[in-house]
Structure 1
C-alpha cells in the first residue's frame, strides 16, 4: 500500500511540475521580451520585493558568485534598470535599487499577467473550479515554503 501511495505522489508531483511550468511560460508570454536574462530579472524581482540591497546581498540571495552578480549589476545599470546610492548606515557600502522606470515596467507587466490570468480563469473555469484553485493556493504555498 505504501508503494502505491508513493507512486501516486510521485505521479502527482510530476504533473504539478509540468502544469505549473506551462502556466509560468504562458504568463511570461503575456509581456514583451525585456532583453534581460533570467538572472537579471531575478535580481530586479529581489530589489522590488525586498528593497535596496548591496551586490553582495543580492549574490547571496540568488546563490551566485559575486563576480556573476557584478556582471548582472553592470548590465542592469547600463539598461537604466537600477540605481546606486550610498548606504545611510555604512557609507562604505553602495545600495542598489530598482530604478523608477524599471519599477513602472515591472508593475505594468504584473498587471498584464494578472489581467490575462483573470480572463483565462473566467473563460475556462466554473465558479466552483475557481474555488478549487483558491483552496489549492494554500497547499502550493506550503510546498513552496518547505
Structure 2
C-alpha cells in the first residue's frame, strides 16, 4: 500500500503487529532464563521507584497482592531482593534490590542493547534514519 492511500486503521493494525513482534524478539534477548519476565518487571519497578512495600509493588505492576507476594518470595529466594521492616508500620515490610539484582538488570539491558545494535547495523543509513524518526514519533504516541 502506498503512503498516499494508507489509511489510519490499516496503519494502526500493521504498527500494532510489528510492535508486538519486535517487543517479543527484544524480550527474548535474555541473560538469565531462570528469571521470568514477571520477575524482571518487578525488579525494574524497584529500580525505577526505589524500595517499597509488596502492596505498593503490586499496585505498580497492576497485579493482586497475593500474586506479588509469590513473586517477592521467589526473588528473595534467588537473592535478588531483601525484606526489611517498614520504618513507620510494623505490620509491613519494605522490599529492595540487592547488588545481584542491580547487576542482573544491567546485564539484561546490555544484552538487549547489543542485540538491537547488531540488528540496526544490518540496515542502511537511510533505514536507520527512518527508524530514528519513528522512535521520536512512537515516543510521542506513548506520551499520550
Superimposed CA distance per residue, residues 66-119 of structure 1 (whole angstroms, 9 cap, x where no aligned partner):
11111111111111111123344x253422112211211121121111111111
Partner of 2:52: 53
Counterpart for residue 16 of structure 2 = 17
- SS of 2:30's equivalent in the other structure is coil
5+ long unaligned stretches in structure 1: none
Q: Taking structure 1 as the reference length, what is the TM-score of the superposition?
A: 0.83
Structure 1 segments of 4 or more deviating over 3 A?
none
2:125 to 124, 127, 140: 127
The whole-number CA distance in structure 2 between the counterparts of 1:14 and 1:100 is 42
1:115, 1:71 → 2: CA distance? 32
Task: Give 1:33 deviation, angstroms.
Answer: 4.4
Counting only pairs closer than 5 Å after superposition, residues 63-142 of structure 1 correspond to structure 2 as 63-88=62-87, 90=88, 92=90, 93-123=92-122, 125-142=123-140
Counterparts of 1:18-33 in structure 2 under 5 Å?
A: 18-33=17-32
Displacement, 1:26? 1.8
* Residue deviations 1:44-86 (CA, integer Å, cap 9, x gap): 1111222211111111111111111111111111111111233
CA contact (8 A) 2:31 2:111 kept: no
Equivalent-residue separation in structure 2 for 1:115 and 1:37 (angstroms): 20
Q: How far did residue 127 of structure 1 move?
A: 1.6
Shift of residue 30, structure 1, vs aligned partner: 2.3
